[in-house]
Structure 1
Amino acid sequence: MYSRPFGGGLSCGEASSPKVLKCYRVSFSGEIGVKAPATRRELEDLGVQTLLSRAEALGIPLRVEREGGRLRVELPGEHERLLRTHPGLGRITELLEPSAEELLSPPFWEELLPPRPFTFVVYVPSIRSRESFSRLLHLKGRLLEILRDLARRHLSYWDNHPPEHLEIHLEGRERNLLLLLRPRRGLGGLPVGSGERVLLLFSGGPDSLLAAVRLLSRGQEVALVFFDDEVPGRAEKVKTAARELAYFLPRARVEFFRVAFREVQELIGEKVPRRERCFFCKACMLLIADEVARREGFSAVATGEILGEQASQTLPALLFTVRASKTYPFRPLLGYTKEEVFRDLAELGLSAAARRNLPPCPFVPDHPRTRPRSRPEKVLHLWPEIQKRVKSIGREILSYGG
């Protein structure tokens, strides 16, 4: 399905059907750019390998080649999200190579401009050749006149929303022009596989979705562990969320562990103060997740907790669960606000997944405490009995769209 080779002969096969491809200039993240040369090249190659792997798994035609320290990528425009959500990529810009005549043709721009009112800015880079620089400045001046005229015409489409801003970069080559449009911020960070394996407590809600993506953008290979309370409909909704998350992983699939947790919750309901159930429940989740992580070769456990968002996520509550479980999880969203979570998920294309209603937990008390009164050691006293109540821990691989 894929064509052009990358680097030392990496390729993706042949295109199965002709598609109109859109061209992009893609820069690696600034974080990769400041590494030592050998490390930088290794991370860049890994970033491209995982991009090719994702595209192949998702069935997206893709061409990639190096251009200096950047990439030239071609893929169908409707799949631009693949680039914007790929760990290790920092900037994605549409790339066209018009002739001077095309550049100064209003019909050429009518196809590129938004139908609504727009503002615009045109940049020309400073280059050594005075002759080439003067030529670009001359083209810029004429282009500004054309865009001003088109912008006035588009005012007739005025609505109650802010105008779209169009950023344009004009570069010159010996034989052609390069037109760069609409630079967008990529996910940044490091490519998946440059870190370790992390097991994330996964509820299918917005916080755990974003926590998974944030860990991926730090180069970690993420797997999910779901604690099933057997409420009708929950498991399928959580699996649906996990499959949507698989879009971001190199092979578009995610390792998914399911813990039969209902009997543990029933035991907690019998043995601990009603208003403190959530503290003990979370501590037990961390203990079980830590055991799964050790058994399966994960380096760490992570959660999507946000400081102060829920009664079980106050600072005293978080300290209780850590001391009770002797587990020190990563919490990539600890300082987030809920507004920031939904904003970031919208940028990632996960708005619908984030707003999917999940059934409430039947064991949550009406008025949970925010500050534990029980001693953390009580969890460890209950641990032998808790282990007997975990009847099964299943493992499966979930694929995007599967």
Structure 2
Amino acid sequence: PLTSEQINAEIGAAIQAHTGKAVDLSRPDLTVFIELLYNEAFVYFEKIPGPGGLPVGVSGKVVSLLSGGIDSPVAAYHMLKRGCDVLFVHFHGTPFTTPASQRKAIKLVQVLTRYQASPRLYLVPFGEIQRQIMLATPAPYRVILYRRLMGRIAEEIARREGAQALVTGESLGQVASQTLENLAVIEEAVTMPILRPLIGMDKQEIVDRAQAIGTYELSILPGEDCCRLFVPSHPATRATLAEVQRIEARLDMDDLVRWGVQGAEEVTTTEERGERGEGRKGVRFLTQL
């Protein structure tokens, strides 16, 4: 058997004899790549970069909050890229909104299926919970209260699924709820780590990535989601934990969490095979927690 250096020398000499070209290791006109296996060899002339990352599942399981907008699918993709098994949770405004956001969430998960073998999605009815918050709390704090409650519900689902962290699509300063002060108050509601892979990205960077992974066109489709339901005109941008906890005391938060978790429907997106073998995406409703 020959060493790699000996193989390089022999093949290089053969190419030089055939083409009459001189060897130039600094600025070659053409680089020939060769992968040698036991009984065969692969010869190629170009390396095409892939997405990189780690095999899905090697970094543990996480729960990604999927809003249906541009950001959260990109955040989920980043965690898939880093080897996480991602389970999705979508909060919808039923009974005060149409099912449009649920359909969009299912389609987004189906797009992300190409990066994960068995994607799963929980659909959580959140409209009545939001109404309870709206009736009992001052308007500027409602978005923060919604986010804290979403975190608690998602965390309970994560615990039941054996997940180790939550994932959100928040980007620092992008909207009122994403200031440092508000993010700290929201995060205090849960004990699991909240991973925010987009935290330092600007909107155009996120849009570019959404277009690259194929979620952008779905994300910009119209659809009523709970993020726009009962939202105040002037939300608080620098909430304090003491003030938010004082307001939360007006609500039975444990009961609202149970309400959300018990209403969660699990959906699995499947790829069925037709008579000709072509792939067809399907949706299967499985169970309630």
TM-score normalized with structure 2 length: 0.76
Aligned residues between the structures: 251
In the TM superposition, residue 212 of structure 1 has moved relative to its aligned partner by 1.2
Partner of 1:239: 106
Partner of 2:83: 219
Residue 227 of structure 1: SS of its match in structure 2? strand
Partner of 1:261: 126
Partner of 1:377: 245
Q: How does 1:238-317 map to 2 (within 5 A)?
A: 238-250=105-117, 253-317=118-182
Distance (Å, rounded) in 2 between the aligned partners of 1:379 and 1:362: 20
Alignment partner of 1:194 is 2:65: no
In the TM superposition, residue 266 of structure 1 has moved relative to its aligned partner by 0.5
Change (3 A) 1:132 1:333: same
In the TM superposition, residue 358 of structure 1 has moved relative to its aligned partner by 3.1
Distance (Å, rounded) in 2 between the aligned partners of 1:169 and 1:299: 45
Change (3 A) 1:388 1:196: closer
Q: How does 1:1-400 map to 2 (within 5 A)?
A: 130=9, 132-137=11-16, 169-171=31-33, 178-181=43-46, 183-230=47-94, 231-232=97-98, 233-250=100-117, 253-359=118-224, 361-373=228-240, 375-378=243-246, 381=249, 382=251, 383-387=253-257, 389-390=259-260, 392-399=263-270
In the TM superposition, residue 188 of structure 1 has moved relative to its aligned partner by 1.4
Distance (Å, rounded) in 1 between the aligned partners of 2:77 and 2:189: 28
Residue 185 of structure 1: SS of its match in structure 2? coil
In the TM superposition, residue 219 of structure 1 has moved relative to its aligned partner by 1.4
Distance (Å, rounded) in 1 between the aligned partners of 2:170 and 2:101: 20
TM-score normalized with structure 1 length: 0.56
Change (3 A) 1:138 1:280: farther
Q: Deviations over 1:139-188 (max 9, x none)?
A: 6677xxxxxxxxxxxxxxxxxxxxxxxx953247999893323x322121
Distance (Å, rounded) in 1 between the aligned partners of 2:13 and 2:201: 48
Distance (Å, rounded) in 2 between the aligned partners of 1:375 and 1:317: 12
Q: Deviations over 1:235-287 (max 9, x none)?
A: 1112111221122112xx31111111111100111122212211110000001
Distance (Å, rounded) in 1 between the aligned partners of 2:86 and 2:144: 25
Change (3 A) 1:128 1:394: closer
Partner of 1:148: none
Residue 215 of structure 1: SS of its match in structure 2? helix
Distance (Å, rounded) in 2 between the aligned partners of 1:171 and 1:324: 54
Q: What's the % identity of the aligned pairs? A: 28
Runs of 4+ in structure 1 deviating by more than 6 angstroms, as ranges, are 125-128, 172-177
In the TM superposition, residue 134 of structure 1 has moved relative to its aligned partner by 4.0
- Does the aligned pair in 1 maintain the 2:149–2:257 contact within 8 Å? no
Partner of 2:24: none
Distance (Å, rounded) in 2 between the aligned partners of 1:393 and 1:176: 52
Distance (Å, rounded) in 2 between the aligned partners of 1:216 and 1:386: 30
Using CA pairs under 8 Å that are at least 6 residues apart, name the structure with larger relative contact order, 1 or 2: 2
